[in-house]
Amino acid sequence: MIVPLLKVGAIVTYVAALAGVAGLLPAAIAGPVQVIAVGIVLLHALELLFAFRHVRRYPGPLAVSVLLTLLFGVLHWKPLADLEKGRATGTAS
C-alpha cells in the first residue's frame, strides 16, 4: 500500500514543479519544489546506472523502463529485481 502512495507523492512533486515553471505557484514555493524535483530525478539517474540490469528486465520497451526509473527510482526497478531473484531461486510463480 505504501508504494502507490510514494508514487503519487512523486507525481505530485513533479506536477507542482511544472506548475511553478508555468508561473502557477508563488516563487517562494516554486523554487524549492523545482529543486526537489530536479534532485529526485538526478538521484534516480544515479540509481539507473547501478540498477540497469534490473531495469532492462521490464517486459515493455527499454525506453519506458528508463523513464519509469527516472520518475520513480527504486519503486520501479525493485519489483523487477525481486522477480529476477525469485526466478533464480525457483520461487517465482
Helices (H) and strands (E) in the chain, counts: 4, 0
pTM of this structure: 0.85
Is the pLDDT score of 92 beyond 60?
A: no
* pLDDT tens-digit series, residues 70-81: 999 999 999 999
What's residue 85's pLDDT? 80
Check if the beta carbon of residue 69 is closer than 8 Å to that of residue 77.
Answer: yes
**Helix 62-72 / helix 27-55 crossing angle, nearest 10 deg:** 130
- Kindly state the DSSP code that residue 92 receives in the 8-state scheme: -
